Structures are given as C-alpha cells and as structure tokens.
Structure 1
Amino acid sequence: MDFQVLGPVEARKGGVRIALSGSKVHTVLASLLLARGRVVSDERLSSMLWGWEPPATAGAQIYTYMSRLRKLLGDDVEIDRRPPGYVLRAPHSTFDLLEFEQLDREGRAALGRGRHGEASTLLSRALGLWRGAALGNVTEYLAGAELARLEEQRLHALESRVEADLELGRHEQLTSELTGLVAEFPLREKLRAQLMTAFFRCGQQADALHTYHEGRKVLDEQLGIEPGEALGATYQAVLVGSLGARSAGPARTAVTVSYGDEEPCDPYEPRPVTLPPDIEDFIGRGEELNTLCAQLAESRKGGGPRALLVTGMAGVGKTALAVRAAHRSAEYFPDGQLFAELAHPDGRPKKLAEVLTVLLRALGVPADGPGRGADLDELIRRYRTRTARRRLLVVLDGAVDSRELDLLLPGSAEAAVLITGRARLTRVAQARTTVLTPFGRDTSYELLAAGVGRRRLLAEPDATYQVLAHCGGLPLAVRIAGSRLAARPHWPVSWLAARLADPDQRLRELSYGGLDLRRVLVPSVRQLPRPAGRTLVRLAGIGTEPFPAERAARHLAEPESAAEESLEHLVDAALLDICGVDRLGRPLYRFHELVLLFARHLATAHRERERSAAAR
C-alpha cells in the first residue's frame, strides 16, 4: 500500500488508486497517517472534521468513517480502536511524507559536508514527491492545522536545493525559477537573498539591488519590520561586490593595515558600517530611545559613559532598540558603527577571540591576513591599536556575562559601546544601564496594528485585546501573533485568541516562521546556576501576583536565605522582576505570565523524563 499526502490525499495498491469518497474520509485517513503510528484521539479527529462545532453524533460518524476505511484499505492496513482514539498501522506500506523527510535530511547533510552535487540530487528527488499543495482534499480544519508546517518543510528543502545549485555555479538557470518563487513568497527573505545572489553573479547588479528594495518595502507594508540580518548582509555584499560576480569591476586601491605604533587607520578608507538595517516603523520605547541617543551624544565628547547597557527579559526588544539608537546616533561616530553578536543562537557565549576576529575584519583586517591564528593577547592589542583615536560606535548584542566585556572596549576615549543582554551586567567600566520592561496595552496594540492592519483589529476589538492580554506586553510575542494573522488574512482575530486562551498550548502557538518564544527563553534558563533553575521550575505554580521571599521559601520548603539567593539569580537573568516592597520593607517579586508558562513546560518535561526513566 502506498499512501500520499504531498498533494491530494490518496491511497494506492499495486499502483491503482483506491476510490475514497468525500473530504471527511480523506481527513480521517490523513489524520491517522500524520500521527505516524500514534493514537489519534476522538477529540482531535472531531476538531479536524468539524472544527469548533461538532455534531451530537460525532462519535458515531467517526466510527462509520473508520469502518469504511478498513473495508476500502483491506487486510494490509490495521485501524485499531485504542482509547481515547484510533491508530493506523501499515508496516509494509510506503508514505510519501516519510520518504520526503528522509531525502531532505540526507540532502541537508550532504550540503553541510560541501557535497553540493549530491545535495542537489537528493533535494530535487525530495521535492519531486510533491504533487501540488499538500492535503489537497481534506477539510479546512485539518488543512489549517497541518498545511503551514508541511509547506514550511517544502520551502526549507527548496531553499537548501537552491543553495546547493548556487554553489555549483548554476545561477543563470536559477534566475527565472527564483523570480517566480519570490513573487509567490514575497516575505521569504532567504529566497530573496538567493535571487539577489543569482542576479549579481549574472552581472545584473541593478536587478539585485531592486530585488532588495522591493523586499524591504513589502516587509514594511505587510509586517511593519525591516529585512533580517541575512538579507541585509546580502545587500551589503552586493554593494561591496563580495558575492563572487564573474567580473570584478574596477580595481580598488589597497588599504594598508598597520599593527605597529604608526597611524592606526587610513584617512581615505571608507568607514565600516556593519549594523543591521534600521527599523523605519519603530514602535514604542520613545523615552528609552531618546535617553540612549542623548547618552551616545555625550559619550562622543570623551567625558561621557564608555558603555551603555540595555537589559531585559528575552523577547522584550533589546536588540531592536539598540540598533535603532545606533542608526539615529551615526552622525556622532563618523569613523564607523560596528555590530557583533556575543552569543550563538542557542545562548552559548562566543569565545572572545571569535568576537574580536569579527570586529577586526569589519575594521579592515582580511580574514586570511596577519590576524589569522593570533593568540588572544595579540588580537586584543590589534583591536585596541586599530580603534585608537577613532570615533566609533560598537554594538555588542547578546552579552551573557560581563567578565570580558571591558576587553571589547575600543582604544579611544571618543568611542562608545552599546551592549544588550538578558542578565544584569555589573562589571563594565563607566557603564549606564537601561532596563526594558514589557509594553503597556496601548503600545502593544500599535505594534499589532503595524503588522495586521488597524481596520482588521477594529472589526474584532474584544478578540484583539484577548490576544494582547495573552501576549503579556512582550514585543516578540505580539510580533509573532501579528505575523500569524498577517500570513492568514482570511482568519478572524478570534481564531488566534481562542488558540492562545489555552495556557497549555500558548507557548506552542507563539511560534511562526523563524520566531519561536520558547526557543528564545531557553538560553535564559540554561545560563542559570542549577539551584536557581530548579527554583524556577518548582515555583511554576506560584502565580503572577507579587510575593516576598518568605512565601517562596514556604512554597519550596527551604530556608528563606536559600530561596532569596535563588530569586536574586532569577532577577539577574531577567526571569523575575522586583516590583516593589511590602509593608515590612521586604522586596516583592513577580513573574511574567509567559515565563511561568515556560517554567510549567519545563516541569512537565522533567516529570515525563522521570516517568520514562522509571519505566526503563
């Protein structure tokens, strides 16, 4: 038996299609197949068949559909009743989705190893299994639940195949395909960056730049955001001619880089600017932005703060504010504005030598130049020499701790460093700190309206404020909610409000495309000392009302001093706020609702691991 869902849902035996009638039967079969041998509950089947309003006879109808499938599929397939639902087993059958995923994994692995020809072949075979839009003949409820995930898998495979073909020098053949894909998926930044690369390598620099500016306009109008780092980096690479075009253009005068005691920079050298693109439609943070800009203006005189710190919980908008302030203050730093990430995507801190190498390259040290292989002390010396007497602004994003940050300060009294981080950073010399808190309701509304459109929100005011309440003023959560609604213009706002209303599912719902709230919160927990991490999990049920350390100690059944120490670690990691004092002058702590939901998620995962270990 061959099962197919990458197109209309079908079952074939010996190459002959089995006649399955009606969207309901196709929906039941697809739901069982997508469960991959796990039980599909009656509740899940009911919601996939009828949505929020199942008929009173839903159980009987599901039983009828199962009986019909058993008869049509024959003895090769087992459909068993396993309370609370049904399970499908077909050990000798093929399933196109599983075959696609296997080829996709093998193709990506080959791509990662630099075997581009093999990667292109494998990924092309994977994409060839698609026969149109997946789940083409099921109910709208199943399509709404599963189609976006399947389409995302297809697009990732497609982007990987294009990447392999670009590495194989097939840019001329790719331009027409990519032009069509960008028109079909205008918000897909990686496809747009790949089209820019193909255009540039074909000698069509003007088309590459037009593609970028068109994408920037679309992102602004539809989502209210600026291009991401990858698309912005491709744009910069087009401007400086570093995408491997077939003709290099006019020769450029070499710039001499000195590491001795002579003048550290060429006065005719173009100033380095590696900041992410500015955010034109910046929402909120007006007071904080004005304060940062005033402090940066003060620092250029040599008597102001050497470093400015922006801290706050994950997803609160630290990077967006820092980048905005850096662009607005560019005139104060005519020798350049640099940007470097201090942590990997999973939150692990980068080595200081790695960050210094990024900064030195931006300052004109070639990747294969004298700095290659240098020890840390040599890298620091070159960085200080290279930045001496230069009016630079350096943005360091995602600081984990402050032990080495002083070593990244430029060697100039007229330079400034703007640092973002979740943790409270206390060891940076001459630093001033700006702490970001979640948005209020009005600012959250403006941010959501920027992505969704004000008219759509005004049509459903109650549902809109429910969505905002569930986002808790966290800009990342609001942006994810707006992106989901913008990508599904036919969905009512109340649909998302209903999905976010379930606390057990809220964090899962706050994920879209490359934005995932749970993934952003993980590094904050990983960086905690183990006792503080356990405290967070054990306090998952304490609620969002303010509480003193004494109440936490009772909840944890441990001395108040031990509880207070763990609470302070949580405060330092921006996972807990101090919101005031009680009548005895003791500090009051408060959790953000989304942090508590994440803590409950961790507690549930911990219990499941313990049960699995006990079962073994």
Structure 2
Amino acid sequence: MYSPCRLRMLGPLAAWRDGRSVDLGPPLQRAALCVLAAQTGQVVTKEALIGGLWGERPPNTAEQSVYTYIAGLRRILEPKSSRRGSYSVLLSRSGGYVLAHGPIEVDVEDFERHLAEARRLDVDGDPRGCLRALDAAVGSWSGPALCGVPGPFAEAERARLEELRLSAREDRADVLLHLNLHQEAASALTELVGEAPLRERARALLMLALYRCGRQADALHTYMDVKRLLAERLGVDPGRTLRERYELILRADPSLTPTGERAAGPDARSPRTPRQLPRAVNCFVGRAEEMVRLRSLLAPWDGAPPQAVVAITGAPGAGKSALAVHAAHAAVHAFPDGQLYVNLLGATPGVEWLKPIDVLGRLLRALGLPGEAVPADADEAAAMLRDRLEGRRTLILLDDAAGPEQVRPLLGLPAGTSVLITSRESFAVIDDCVQFVLGSMLRSEAVTVLAKLVGAERIAADPAAGRLADLCGGLPLALRLAAARLLDRPQWTPTELVDRLEDRRRTLHELEAGQTAVRSSLELSYESLARGASALDRSAARVLCHLGLLHVADVTAHVVAALVDEPADAAERALDRLVRAHLLEPASTGRFRMHDLVRLYTIELADTRLAPEARAGALLRALGFYGATARRASSVLDPHRVQLPWPAVPQRPLALTSPAEARNWLEDELANVVAAASQALVSEDEEIARMGVRVGFALYWQLSRGAHRREHLRLSRQALAVGERAGDLELMSLAHGQLATALLQIGRAADAMPHQRAELELRRELKDRFGEMRALGNLAATHVTLKQYARARECTETQRTIAREIGSDVGERHSLLIGGRACEGLGDVAEAISLMSEGLALAQAAEDRYQESAALVMLAKLHLDRDDALTAKTHLERGLRCAIEIGHRAYECRSLTLLARAHRLLGDPEQALACARRALPIAQSYGDEELREVEAELRAIQPVFPCADSARPFPAHLTLVR
C-alpha cells in the first residue's frame, strides 16, 4: 500500500514519507507545490501558478517552467508503480492541475482544524477544551511559515498564516486569563509582544494579565511603551480598547479583578517592614524650632498626609544629617509601613555619587522586591516604586544628595509617603518641597553640645566655654572637633584651647564663615598632630597630609605605607592615631575611610604642604603597590594567564599565597584600584599617566573574569589616549588590544575590529612575535563573533605556527579552541570537535582551568547541538567547577545556561530550572546577550515543568523584569 506524503508548511518547507525526508527539488518547484497544497482538491490554473511564482512580470519561459516543475513534483509524489500518464496524486485538469486530498497530508490543514475546534469549544463554554485545542494549533508550528519559499503566493500565504498564528496565541492567552492563570498568560503575552510589539489586542491582554499579577506599574508601562511605538512607527495613537484599559488600570477599577478572586501575583507578599534609620546621635541638643516644624510636616497633628518632600540644606558641618535622623526618629510612629535610608554620597570628594537607578534599586529591594526583578531603566524603576508605595505610609531619608537632579526620579511618590533629604545644594526649585536652610546653633545650644561631649563639670567650671562655642561658629562638626581636642588632652581647660584658637586670627575669621569653619577645625587638628611631642603624632600628621593624594573610597595600611614610604605596621599605628583624633573612621577590619569634609581638607593639605615632586613620588608609589599586587593576585588565582608588561617598581606586592586570598583582595580593592588608575590616566604628568596605564593593564584578567565591562572599557579608552599622546607604540598596541577586548565583551564586535587590526599592525611593526601571536588569537575571536569563520581559521593557523615557533603553550591552546569554533561555523563539526578536544587535553595537562573551562563549554555546546545531552552534561559539570574555581563569571553563566538545556533535554526540569535560576543574576549583571540566552532557556523549560499541584508553580519562579 502506498504511504501518504506528509508536507510541512508551518516552518521550513519539508516533506516525509515513511519517516524519510523527501527532496522537493529547486526553490520554484517547491513554491509550485505550496500553491497546489494550499488548495488541495481544487483546480489551480496554469495562470494562477505562474502568478503565484513570478507575479505580474513572469519570464517568457514561465509556462515551460511550470510544465517542468509539475513533472518534477510527479516524480517525487506519485507512486513508483504509476504508468506514465496515469496519475493519482497530482492530476491534470482542463486548464490546470489538482493536488489530491488523500495522498498528501498538510500541516496547515491540521492547524486550521484545531482552530475551528477551539472556536466550537469556546462557544460551547468549555475553556479547558478550548485551551487544549489552541495548544495543539500553536504546537503545529516549527518556525516561520513557508520558510525559504520564494514568490508572491508564498509571501501572501506567509502573512495570512502568521496572522492566524498570532491571533491563536492571543486567543490562548485570553483563555488563560478566563481560567485565572494570570502568570502563565503574562509570560506567554510578554513573549508575544516581544515578537509583535504593535499588536494592540496582545498589549491589552498583557496589561490585564500584569495587573492581575499585582504588577500595576508594569501594566501601565506596557501601555506607554506601545503608545510610543505607535507614534514613532505609524504616527497614530492607541485604539479605544487600549486607552480604556489604561484608564481602568490607572484607577485600579474593580471590574479588572476576576469574580471571587483576589489578584495575587508574586508581588503580593508582605515583606518585613523595613526599619533602616541610622541610630540617632546621643548628644543631640538644640534645633528646637526646626524640630517642631519638621515634626509638624512629617507627622501632622490633625492626621493629614505628611509633606511630600522636605529638604534640609546648609553649609558643611551644620548638622544636617544629625537633625534629619533625629527628626525621622521623632516621627517614626507616623510611618508604620517602614522607614528607608540611603546615603547618596553626593558630597564625597573623589567618590562617584549614587546614580538614581542605584538608589531606586536599593529602595525597591528594601521593600521586598527580589534583586533580579529590579528594572534597569530609571523611569521603569520609579514607576515600580510608586506602585509599591501606593496606599502605604512610608518615610524615605535620602542623606547627602548632590543636588535636585540626583533625586528628581525619586519624587512624585503617592500621598502618605514623605521624602526627607539633606544636601549642601538648594532645593528651592523642587515642587511640593519645604526647605530648611540650617544655620548656626544658638550659643547656649553650642555650649550644651560641648558639655555633653566633654563633660558637664569640665565645661561649667570654665567661663571660656561660651567663647569656645563662638569660635566654633555654632557648627556641630566644629564643636565635635573642638571637644575631641579636649578629650585627647585631658589636662587642657577650655581657656587653653580658646587661647590656641585666638592665636590664629585669620583662621578664626574663616571659622565664623560657614564652610570655612570645618577647614579651620581640621587644620587645628592637623597642626596639633604635626607639632606634637610624640613621633606617632607627627607620623599621623604626615599620613593625613598624603591621604589627599589618592582619590579612593577607603585605604588599608599597606596602601598608606606605599604612599608615605614607611613600613606597614608604622602606617597602621598612624591610621589608628587618626581614628582616635576623629579624623578617620574604621570602615571594616583593616580598612579606614575619611569623613567627606576631612577628605576635602586633606586634598587641600596635600596641595599646600607637599612639593610637586613629593606628590608625584607618593602617587607613583601607591600606584606601584596597587599594580604589583593586582598582578600578583591574578597570577596566584590563575598562573596560566599571560600578564601584560609591567615596569620595574620598588614596591613589593602583598604576599598572597592562596587563590582565596588573591580573590578576596581583588574583590575588596577592585573599585579602589580602578579609581586610582583612572585618576592617574588623566594626569598631566606623563610618568603618572603611564603608570596609570600599567595599573589598568594589571587589572585585565580580573575585569574580564568579573564582568566589569564598563570599567574595562573606560580604562582602555583612557590608556589609548595616553599612548597616542606620548607616541608610545608599545602602549598604543596594548591599549588597542584592551579596547578591542572590552568592546567585544559588550557585543560590539564590529567596533572592536579596527582596534584589533591596529594592535596586530603595531605588533608586527615592533617585531614582537609573542604580541603578534596574541593579537592574531584575539583577531580570530573577533572574526568568529562576526561569523567570518574562514578568516578566523586563517588567523588561528598562523597563530599556532608562531606559538610553536616561540614555545607558547598557552597560545597554541588558544589557537586550537578558537580554531574549533571557526570550524564549527564552517560546518566542519568533526574537525571542530577534534581541535577542541586537543585543546582540552592540553589545557588539562597544563592544569589551565581557564582554557579547560572554555574548551568544555565549547564541546558541550557542540554535543548539545548534536542531541547528545548526556555527554554535554558531563563536560558542563566539570566546566562549571573550573569556572567557579577561577572566579570566571562569564563561563560560570554560560555553563549553567547550557547545563539547564542539557537537564531539560534529559527530562529533568527541576535541575534545569535550578541551573537557569543560578545563571539569571549573573547574566543580569553581565550583559544583554547572556540575559537573552538565560531567558530563552527559562521559556523553554516552562512547557515541560510539572507545575500541576505544585506548591510553587513554575510561573512564580519566572519573574524576568529587566
């Protein structure tokens, strides 16, 4: 009996008979089959065939070509036993041809049959049956319809079928909503809107699904997004249905909630109420008038909503933060839903203040939102914050704002929430804001502060206490510093301290002038140390003078030892002395930070007390220590990685002996080393700038391992500018290579290519064979990313030749791995596996975990593509261990993502989901490409995840807010 032929049109055109693929011939012959198959059992005229294949302007040979294609199709479709002229599948009729029903089975007919069944079940009131029929209809597809088929008919039929597919997916989501499966509907619609962003029905359904999941802000953002797209692409506004849905969601209309159900998505859980206010100062006194008014604004006596925004501004040292914290504690009863606190670092010299998106992220996490769900866009995050605070009475204290622009995205919050801000800048331009300009304390209040800090008996016994308060200008910081002097000198009376202050008439005048008061008090403390009788005091003063040279967030004794060219234990004793003098604060074990105002003073102190050559020498020593230790840490963590050239410096690196010690140092100090390198790179001193380049190069492997792409890109660009300014070919070549790598890591391979070629040319000009070999390897990787596989293969072959010539084992292994990727791209899978396997064997023999991890990931992907999930899983488990061992986040993410795929293919969705969820936060911090791959895998896991009767259904895990 002759078996029917199964024809697939809902995807790449293909046919099977008896489980074997059937070759349908050249493209236009395949197009002719599609015209006939779309109208099985009906006569298709020759004119219709010609029009469907060529349109209105067919070639002169069109009719003869049709005969040829019909003959070819008959050879394929007709039974072998058919006599010539006796056809049972493709029949000739007057003026045309007919494709018989029975011998040909077409998936389009199955799809349309399922759709008809779904419509019938919907009318009959059977939503679950309707859902099953729609699932079957959507499951009929395996890709874009008539993929690869040419001609006007195929184009029109593609559009028709695609419209049916999208409508079916919308119908399916509508049924899910009817069944109260809101999270499943939201996931399906998010994917659909990503494919077809202008479909208004899909948008309206997504808005409803998100709203019912408790994500009102996301629902509103969906509307604003389509409104923008419609305006940009079509110049029209959203339709009536979308506009009405937006209005209903905006006012949380009860009609949107399903009958008998409270919308409860993953955001509906009540997190622990945040209580983040810092401890109030024990010795807080005075500011009575300000406290009364602040309390009336934050906790009105008549029960009215609190003031939306309150700003406390004034000069440095006026006590803005202390007043804000004290007032917040006094009004805490008025904010039962929580009190949040963020230090914005707005006036921290040499340290970058927090960006609005970072502040929004902290607030959202404090309110219970998982870190991976915090949006990356500031406007979206602000909308989500407003949604979270709706109906709550919450106080947000934003300390030390750089100015109105830093906090503007955090304003406009719902009634009941109050934002209390401290800043040195005016906030008069902010709407709905009450501003306090904080001046000096009353004399009586200032004396009380001194009495609380120093002791009431000691202050009361000396009539000069009032004069001391006057000389401090009534500024709390100056008062605290003066009190610290008295506490450190118990033999002194207030009169003696007053005498010292009055000896410096000009400084006292500045002390009374607001901001200069802090400088005068700090200078007094410095002079006390510098002229002290003990060597420790003088050493502490010298350290304080040098701290202003290095613009980093905190320091250790070893860094300071390099700055002042002293042993580390002596530097540590000096730092401890500065802590006792209240000029430094202990940040954590072995780390010290300066108060913002002290930092400003030390910068001025270094400029005035140190000669230019002394400043340059100290900065070079600190940079030398940072760079040498960074190289040492990278070598300990991964001894096989080739370090970029480093100048001979006298500074000895820390004695890091274990990978754990190396990893901890790099993680703790990375931000400081990046800041120091950036500071040096913009220096006008060429020697300092060159050292900044080398320090940046010393961080290469850590920046790459830890996915610090922004820092890598910035340092690389600055390094290239220094090299070009100096005309140094060596620096230029290295910087071009670094910049190319940084661009490649952020997905800008085309932009990386010119820099990669420039590095190769410079290396050849310098006759540096090792540098040429490395540049060829990096160029090959760039070619692979750009899918220029033949060129990549040429580069790796040349690289391997040079690597063997100069004895570079690591270069040879690199050439094998990248060469394998090139062969994979060229379709030579056997050669790809051979090269990668050889590279893996060499890496394992050398115990090179980095290249071993890379090789295992590459091989695993090849095996997965060949449906060998078990072998891939074995490779990936080993590769993951290697990646974690060396701290390489990119390979860790890639291994987890592919491991999720392997587990899914092996029928273990629980393990697949666990791996994907581990990969997700890494991908979110790493880049868009990695995130897309993880999200795709999560979507692939969803259909096979056994969420029925589960206490934690799959959709609760899959909250992918970007």
TM-score (norm: length of structure 1):
0.40
Q: Judging by fraction of residues, say which structure has more helix.
A: 2
- Relative contact order, higher structure (CA 8 A, sep 6+): 1
- Higher CA-based Rg: 2
TM-score (norm: length of structure 2):
0.26
